[in-house]
């Protein structure tokens, strides 16, 4: 049960981070570029911090990476709808 709740938390956190960062970047970039830049920034920050966890780096990277990769298609679909393509 706890693992399921952690998975839902990770998915919600990933969605919040990516969509909020993408929305903030839309003031500077077109929607698709903002979405990809948000993912790149998130990957750099979360990837670097999880790799600092020593022996727990791989599970931490999976805890971050899998939900982010699940949210990415929704983020790109949303950006594509905003561009009207």
Tens of pLDDT, residues 26-69:
999 999 999 999 999 998 998 888 888 888 888 888 888 888 88
Helical H runs in the chain? 2-25, 31-51, 57-83
CB 17 within 8 A of CB 43: no
Q: Is the pTM of this model over 0.85?
A: no
Which stretch of DSSP H or E encloses residue 10? helix 2-25
- The residues spanned by each domain of the chain are 2-83
pLDDT confidence band for 5 (50 / 70 / 90)? confident
CA–chain centroid gap for 23, Å, is 13
CB 83 within 8 A of CB 31: yes
């Amino acid at each position: 049960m706890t693992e399921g709740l952690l998975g839902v938390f990770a998915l919600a956190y990933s969605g919040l981070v990516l969509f909020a960062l993408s929305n903030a970047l839309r003031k500077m970039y077109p929607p698709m570029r903002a979405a990809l830049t948000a993912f790149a920034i998130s990957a750099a920050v979360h990837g670097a911090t999880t790799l600092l966890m020593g022996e727990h780096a791989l599970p931490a990277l999976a805890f971050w990476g899998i939900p982010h990769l699940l949210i990415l298609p929704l983020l790109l679909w949303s950006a594509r709808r905003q561009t009207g393509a």
